[in-house]
Structure 1
Amino acid sequence: MTIIVGTGAVIRNEDDRVLLVLRRKDPESGKWSIPGGKVDPFETLESAVVREVEEETGLTVEVESLLCTDEIIQPQHDRHLLSLIYKVRYTGGEPVNREPQKHAELRWFKPGELPPESEIAAFSREALRLVAAE
């Protein structure tokens, strides 16, 4: 079995909107997700989330706090996914889809106007529930 550790980022702009990416590739192609990805060997979790955000969106961010964790166990795919999701502070840059092979688009959403849960990637759901409840 493969165990994959990943990170995700809840990014809010000055208007309190949350940045989501529309996944183009599996897993969960066609679903909205927070930016994030796999942790590289010997990389800290916080470094990974900052790197992934910059690679995917061109934004620079600083970690504020751990928001939640998410775990997906998929015996049918022989994998176990563990994601640590952080609240991050947006510190610079303009959002750009820097990985068009992975994402169809980027979009800012008001917390009360997020896509329906059925259109949100599984690992992002709890984080976005927490954001919407704030």
Structure 2
Amino acid sequence: METAVPRLGVGAVIRNDQGEILMVLRNREPEKDTWSIPGGKIDLYETMEHGVVREIKEEVNLDIEVTGLLCTAETIRPEKMEHWVSVIYEAVVVGGELRNMEEGGAIGAMEWFPLNRLPDKLASFTAAAIEALQRKE
């Protein structure tokens, strides 16, 4: 039996030249059918910064450079046996071409959204990231 322990995830707030934020529509649990910043879980013995760079490449085919730590967020749902701690970075695109690498899998859609016109159903850690971004600006 797996011991219930908090899981560690990373995410990136990636903005384009118009200041829009890249969001992906989650196709699976946790938080299926919500809009989220791209990211994923950390592998054992991997640094968080390396993990976020790897996850973004695996999910949306972009090469990113981390420009700073934005915030941390927690998702705690005992009823679903979920406890995630997410470390969220700000990043810029330095290469690659935006493409859904998880089509038919983890990601249903991808879209750039202006900060003042975000979709309604945000994943909980994404909502925390947006709040941190708005406080900062």
**Alignment partner of 2:81 out of 73, 78, 81:** 78
More helix, by proportion: 1
Question: Aligned equivalents of 2:39 and 2:75: distance in 1?
Answer: 15
2:49 paired with 1:37: no
Structure 1 segments unaligned to the other structure (5+ residues): none
CA contact (8 A) 2:70 2:133 kept: no
Question: Aligned equivalents of 1:78 and 1:109: distance in 2?
Answer: 31
Query: 3-state DSSP class of the match of 1:120?
Result: coil
Runs of 4+ in 1 over 6 A off after TM superposition: none
**Over aligned residue pairs, what C-alpha RMSD do you find?**
1.2
Query: 3-state DSSP class of the match of 1:2?
Result: coil
**Alignment partner of 1:27 out of 13, 30, 45:** 30
**Aligned counterparts, 1:42-121, within 5 A:** 42-100=45-103, 101-116=105-120, 119-121=121-123
Letter in 2 for 1:106: M
The alpha carbon displacement at 1:129 in A equals 2.3
Structure 2 segments unaligned to the other structure (5+ residues): none
TM-score (norm 2): 0.91
CA contact (8 A) 1:112 1:132 kept: no
